[in-house]
Structure 1
Amino acid sequence: MKLYETPSTPNCLRVSLFLAEKGMDIPREIIDVRAGDNLKEDFCKKSVNGLVPTLELDNGDYLCESIAICRYFEEIHPHPALFGQSHLERAQIEMWQRIIELQGIVLIAQAIRNLKQVYKDRENCIEDWGYEALLRFRKILPKIEAQLAAHQYIAGSSFSVADISTFIMLKMASKMEIEIDQQWPSIHRWQKEISQRPAFAALS
């Protein structure tokens, strides 16, 4: 297997943290998305969405989309279980994973791309949509605060892929000067605990 990645990008970091939590490591190849390496014909033949991360399997198949890649690793290396163990736990993790993805990561990504215009050479940046996306993103923070006030982790009592995604989301939010302070005590508590896990501590 081989993982094509730009290590600093959010979705590549999500897979890297997932692998670290699993205690797995695989060969990697750097794809420079800022330089447009992911737009080249050779890479697009490997990746359906033309994005990183993309996983090359030993049989010649390819997987893209970070959560799909994480699910594959969960199947071949089920312990520790990061997508849940019981029927209910798996459903709860899936629920929170989608909430974080659709109401959090997607919106903060749109805010960053349209306001900071990091890919203005290849996409039409719409400033008004960037501000609107940022406004909508902020609505997820009270939901996360309430959940973490009642539970140790995002989806309940066990650390999961939903915690990795939430960490990634908040890391992205910091680029827009949205910091987690005492206004969000439960999120602040959770961030402190998560940052002490070996996989996350290695980032600092």
Structure 2
Amino acid sequence: MKLYQGMGPNSYRVRIFLKEKGIDVPMQEIDLMTAEHKAPDFLKLNSLGQIPVLELDDGTIITESVAICRYIEETHPEPPLFGTDAVSRAKVEMWNRRAELVIFATIGNVPLHSDELFKDRLTQFPAFAETERLAVPKKWAWLDRELADGRPFLAGDNFSIADITAGVCGWLGEVFGMEIPDSLGNVRRWNERVRSRPSWNV
């Protein structure tokens, strides 16, 4: 296997996932700042020009960070990060989707609609970026209320990909000046618990 990756939250998610699995995969850094992801050779791997990309030994290409993680889960099931039975798998899926749609999307829309790096990717609306920035604390406040039951991780007692996704949201928010509010004790305790894991230093 070979992982094409670089800076950014989606590559970070996959690197954390691999570390949690204890798997070493050869990696090739793709430089977004020099538009290496838009080069013809890379577009043959992913026509959308996005990272990460996992290339299997037989040449099969898998894109999208969660799809890559699902492949890794199937081929290296221990420790389980997508749940272990019907209920836990559904809850992990639910919380991963919530983290993506409620928090990740809101934080991500800020740089997407305001940062120079993305100006050629879409039509930017700076006012929308500011609206999303103002909404971020409300999204974390929602999660704080959800975690008020004292469970250690988003989907229950066990660490999962949902915690990776939401933890990367916290990291991304810090990068763009949208830290988790100090008043949200439940979220901050969860965040500290997740990011104290060795897998975050990748």
Q: TM-score range by the shorter chain?
A: over 0.9
Is this contact kept in 1: 2:81–2:159, CA < 8 A?
yes
Q: Residue 44 of structure 2 corresponds to which residue in structure 1?
A: 45
Given the two structures, how large is their TM-score scaled by the length of structure 2? Answer: 0.93
Cα displacement (A) at 1:180: 2.5
Counterpart amino acid of 2:97?
R
Q: How does 1:100-119 map to 2 (within 5 A)?
A: 100-119=99-118
Deviations 1:40-91 (A, max 9, x none): 1211111143210000011111011000000000000000000000111100
Cα displacement (A) at 1:123: 4.0
SS of structure 2 residue aligned to 1:139:
helix
RMSD: 1.6
1:189–1:160 Cα change, 3 Å = same
Which of the pair has the greater relative contact order for Cα pairs under 8 Å at 6+ separation?
Answer: 2
| Distance in 2 between residues matched to 1:174 and 1:91, nearest whole Å | 29
Q: How many residues align?
A: 201
Q: Residue 134 of structure 2 corresponds to which residue in structure 1?
A: 135
Cα displacement (A) at 1:164: 0.4
| Distance in 1 between residues matched to 2:146 and 2:156, nearest whole Å | 8
Counterpart amino acid of 2:175?
K
| Distance in 2 between residues matched to 1:48 and 1:127, nearest whole Å | 27
Deviations 1:86-113 (A, max 9, x none): 1111001101111111111122111112
Q: Residue 145 of structure 1 corresponds to which residue in structure 2?
A: 144
Counterpart amino acid of 2:55?
E
| Distance in 1 between residues matched to 2:135 and 2:183, nearest whole Å | 18
| Distance in 2 between residues matched to 1:183 and 1:101, nearest whole Å | 23
- Larger displacement relative to structure 2 (39-48 or 12-21): 39-48
Q: Residue 13 of structure 1 corresponds to which residue in structure 2?
A: 12
